[in-house]
Amino acid sequence: MNNLNFFERVYTVVRKIPYGKVTTYGIIATYLGAPRSARMVGWALNNSKNDPTVPAHRVVNRKGLLTGKNHFHGTNLMKQLLENEGITIQENCIQNLDAYLWYPEKTK
């Protein structure tokens, strides 16, 4: 199960995010077994630029704030994508995040 690197594990989880759903770094980090290493998840997504298959726009921080928006394209594309999926966003903040929150499947 831990044959894959932390980065690959993050990619796998993020790729499994269904349409119209979002997740947070803490959830992913905790799921991977590193609740305090949420930072590394951000680094992984930073590397995810090499992997367009990873919907990083569906990954936000604990507050639902589009922290990575600045790193995406430098524009409101991230917000547009999320809104396109039916997610309500205001001032780069996901509204009703609890309703859109998605947790990874525990494939043991």
Partner DNA sequence: CGTCTGACCTCAA
Partner DNA sequence: CTTGAGGCCAGAC
- Interacting residue ranges for DNA, rule: CB under 7 A: 6, 24-26, 29-30, 34-46, 48-49, 56, 61-63, 67-72
Q: How many angstroms separate the CA atoms of 86 and 6, rounded? A: 30
Strand partners, 24: 60
Nearer to DNA, 20 or 51 (CB): 51
Cβ nearer to DNA, comparing 9 with 48: 48
Minimum distance of DNA from residue 66's CB (angstroms): 8
> Least separation, in Å, of the C-beta of 49 and DNA?
6
Give the Cα separation of 96 and 106 in Å (integer): 24
Instruction: Report the residue number, 62 or 88, with the smaller CB distance to DNA.
Output: 62
In this complex, which beta carbon is closest to DNA, that of residue 30 or of residue 76? 30
Q: How far is C-alpha 39 from the chain's CA centre?
A: 12
Rounded Cα distance between 23 and 98, Å, is: 10
Task: Quote the CA–CA distance of 105 and 107 in Å, as a whole number.
Answer: 6
